[in-house]
């Protein structure tokens, strides 16, 4: 789960070891987060720091990419459920969905992130 730095590294490390890998991310692109400030400063365009996940793993035939938001994990049945209702079974699950931001006591700033 997650095609950020952690998820991509895990998927690439597992690929080629006879393990089919399914990489699920809510976006169809990997965001190079450390250069976000360059986009904010208009020094780069958003497309410069976002690359399609399928292109990044194109040389890894064992990796299947699914675009979807994971809504729930069922550890008993070993499956994750996406918001569109699809269920994906797993043998081993790597959770690499990143973290949430802290606004240093200014939670009113949080909605500005999605503008
Ligand atoms: C502005 C900024 C600058 C930074 N600069 C640096 C730097 O210079 N050097 C450095 O080492 N680190 C830097 N960092 C920190 C670095 O970006 C993070 O440590 C790193 O991105 C964490 O990787 P991750 O794979 O854990 O999570 P992320 O890279 O955040 O990836 C998480 C992925 O999970 C996906 N996801 C989340 N929820 C779901 C869900 N429910 N279902 C499906 N997919 C989901 C997201 O779409 C995302 O693709 C910076 C961070 C920021 C915000």
Question: Which of helix, strand or coil describes residue 43?
Answer: coil
Q: Which residue, 20, 15, 22, 18, is CA-closest to 1?
A: 22
φ and ψ of 22, to 5 deg: -115, 120
Instruction: Give the tens place of pLDDT for each residue, 56-69.
Output: 999 999 999 999 99
Expressed in angstroms and rounded, the spacing between residue 114 Cα and the centre of ligand 1 is: 16
Helices then strands, counting H and E runs in the chain, come out as: 3, 7
Q: What is the pLDDT of residues 5-15, one digit of tens each?
A: 999 999 999 99
Domains and CATH numbers, the chain: 5-114 (3.50.50.60)
Mutate to test the pocket of ligand 1, among 97, 101, 103, 110 (most ligand atoms within 8 A of CB): 97
H or E segment and range at residue 23: strand 21-25
- Residue 78 burial (CB count, 10 A): 13
pLDDT digits (tens, 9 = 90+) for 40-49: 999 999 999 9
Residue 71 banded pLDDT, cuts 50, 70, 90:
very high
Question: Is the CB of 82 within 6 Å of ligand 1?
Answer: no
Rounded distance from Cα 6 to ligand 1 centre (Å): 8
| Mean pLDDT value across residues 27-40 | 95
Q: How many angstroms is it from 7 CA to the middle of ligand 1?
A: 10
């Amino acid at each position: 789960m997650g095609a950020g730095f952690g998820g991509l590294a895990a998927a690439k490390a597992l690929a080629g070891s006879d393990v089919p890998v399914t990489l699920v991310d809510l976006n169809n692109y990997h965001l190079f987060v450390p250069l976000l400030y360059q986009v904010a400063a208009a020094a780069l365009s958003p497309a410069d720091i976002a690359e399609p996940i399928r292109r990044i793993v194109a040389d890894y035939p064992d990796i299947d990419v699914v675009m979807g938001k994971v809504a729930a994990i069922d550890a008993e049945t070993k499956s994750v459920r996406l918001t569109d209702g699809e269920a994906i079974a797993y043998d081993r699950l790597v959770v690499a969905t990143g973290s949430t931001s802290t606004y240093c006591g200014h939670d009113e700033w949080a909605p500005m992130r999605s503008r």
